Structure 1
Amino acid sequence: MIKMIALDLDNTLLNSDKKISEANTAALKKLHKAGKAVVLCTGRPINAIWDWLKQLGLMNEKDYSVNFNGSLVIHNVDKKPLMEKGMKRDHFTHLHEFCEAHNYPLDILDFNGVYPINDLPLSGYEKRLGGNMHFLHVPFAKIPDVDYSKAVICTEPATLDKIVAEMPAQLSKEFHIVRSQPMILEFLKPGIDKGSALDVLLDHLGWTRENLMTFGDAENDLEMLASAGVGVSMANGTPEAKKTANHVTVLDNNHDGVADFLKTYFAKNE
């Protein structure tokens, strides 16, 4: 029996206008009211998804979110972490050296805001992310000594293609590297992903992967698609997402693909 529905945001639950449609909202609110846990799984911090959490009514005592692509599991109501796994500043030294040598931009995120590294080229991340986020432009040597959730290279897709093809083995050992969007490459702590974060939450609630349904479209969703009893790729998902999932929506993210799948699945199965 499905007890938890976990959803990626960009190109999955969100349409191209970065909105949750009325149909998707209604479908998820109905299931949440019926007792299903609805969990947003995103690379963003909770402040950047707060309006969507309120739109979906995910403000009950048992409501949680997965943030920073799995580095944080947080209790929505009081924003207290259930799980938080970060990295220290020195962890990013080789990544900064790589970006400096090739003139690539770099943004480093703690669990509250973003540090665009201004001794490197300007990134497009701030413009793309927006939301209720704090951005502090600093040189790498000046970022504070706190715990960090991830780093991001945000640049043109063709440049990211080149970066991925030429990624130094050292960086591949030091990070779990995923491409969350065509313009965004993310560097996470090894072993961190949305699937592992959902395992923590399932264990906390006393459920198993067989109780989990997930929706995603991209590389950073693969682990949670693979680990779920019902893993659902969007019709607009990457070939890897469709191959990893055991279901594919009929409709894409701009045509209420999530709502359409939920309505059909639960009409047949519960």
Structure 2
Amino acid sequence: MAYRIVFFDIDGTLVNEEKEIPADTLEAVRRLKDSGVEPVIATGRAPYFIKPLAEALGIDSYVCLNGALVVYKGDMLYKQPLSPETIAALVETSGRHGHSLVFEGADAYFANSENHPFVTDSVNSLKVEHPGYDPEFWRGNEIYQIFLHCEAEDEPLYEELLDRLRLIRWHPYAMDVLPPGSSKAKGIEAMLNLLGMKPEEAVAFGDGLNDKEMLELAGLGIAMGNSTPELLPYADYVTADVNDGGICKGLVYAGLLDGIC
């Protein structure tokens, strides 16, 4: 079956550690579009974090916030916010343990602490604007994802909430808090259903633990050469490093580009 759509993670996949898009990646995505295959961003990031990158790549469809918000050509087609009751329980538990939260809405994000070192360190790693301060932001807005700031040794403190939310660590000081069952794969399924496509017609590229479900779902799941080792068992193919033509080489392997990268 021919592949008709390709889903790309951002950090460590489309961009390198400096959060720059390698020139060969830009060219590979351009050639992919010219061939008539649809490129889509699939990321844990919020929409307001990806606009410059999406514009540089000429991509206007994305699965954001680890599948909780899906937009196709500018139109929202799927959303899965966290329930207020779940957020309230998390606010209470994290408050007891002195752990800072960052609430991510569709258009903005805010922290419930000011100048917390864990927040500063984790957000700096993304090279994006820091969140504002509004501890009550979650009460009047739909929240699709939360950053929970704690170290790995503190994760057991949240076991009592795992029937109501999902936790994925992405930084030594931070975890994503997602709605239960949420994943990039779930958002991708919503988009494929809209387009009348089957998962077997999709290719997915990723490098982190939040990519495993979409690599399993896609007809061809490709892990970057710089992937976390825990992701590799879920991939059908491991391409080169993001800085060594990994996207281009993966697309050539998939039969979607011709030539040598």
TM-score > 0.5, shorter chain as reference:
yes
CA distance in 1, matches of 2:179, 2:204: 22
Tell me which amino acid in the other structure corresponds to 2:72: H
- CA deviation after TM superposition for structure 1 residue 200, in Å: 0.6
Kindly tell me: are residues 102 and 144 of structure 1, through their superposed partners in 2, closer, same or farther at Cα, counting changes over 3 Å? Answer: closer
| Residue of structure 2 in register with 1:197 after alignment | 187
Kindly tell me: are residues 102 and 228 of structure 1, through their superposed partners in 2, closer, same or farther at Cα, counting changes over 3 Å? Answer: same
CA distance in 2, matches of 1:90, 1:120: 27
- CA deviation after TM superposition for structure 1 residue 42, in Å: 1.0
**Secondary structure at the counterpart of residue 69 of structure 1:** helix
**Secondary structure at the counterpart of residue 2 of structure 1:** coil
- CA deviation after TM superposition for structure 1 residue 121, in Å: 4.2
Counterpart among 127, 140, 148 of residue 143 in structure 2? 148
**Secondary structure at the counterpart of residue 10 of structure 1:** coil
Q: Point out where structure 2 has 5 or more consecutive residues left out of the alignment.
A: none
- CA deviation after TM superposition for structure 1 residue 67, in Å: 0.6
CA distance in 2, matches of 1:190, 1:267: 34
Say if 2:65 is the partner of 1:74. Answer: no
Say if 2:254 is the partner of 1:265. Answer: yes
TM-score for both structures, normalised by structure 2: 0.89
In the TM superposition, what whole-angstrom CA distance separates every residue of 1:68-107 from its partner, at most 9, and x where no partner exists? Answer: 110011134xx33111111243321222222222222211
Tell me which amino acid in the other structure corresponds to 2:80: K
- CA deviation after TM superposition for structure 1 residue 268, in Å: 8.9
Counterpart among 97, 113, 118 of residue 118 in structure 1? 113
| Residue of structure 2 in register with 1:103 after alignment | 98
How high is the sequence identity, in percent, across the aligned residues?
A: 25
Q: Point out where structure 1 has 5 or more consecutive residues left out of the alignment.
A: none
Kindly tell me: are residues 181 and 221 of structure 1, through their superposed partners in 2, closer, same or farther at Cα, counting changes over 3 Å? Answer: farther
CA RMSD of aligned residues (A): 2.4
- CA deviation after TM superposition for structure 1 residue 181, in Å: 4.1
| Residue of structure 1 in register with 2:177 after alignment | 187
Tell me which amino acid in the other structure corresponds to 2:13: T
| Residue of structure 2 in register with 1:138 after alignment | 134
**Secondary structure at the counterpart of residue 100 of structure 2:** coil
TM-score for both structures, normalised by structure 1: 0.86
The answer (yes or no) to whether the contact 2:205–2:224 under 8 Å persists in 1 is yes
Count of aligned pairs between the two proteins = 256
The answer (yes or no) to whether the contact 2:202–2:220 under 8 Å persists in 1 is yes
Once the two structures are overlaid, the 10-residue window that deviates more, 174-183 or 190-199, is: 174-183
Once the two structures are overlaid, the 10-residue window that deviates more, 112-121 or 90-99, is: 112-121
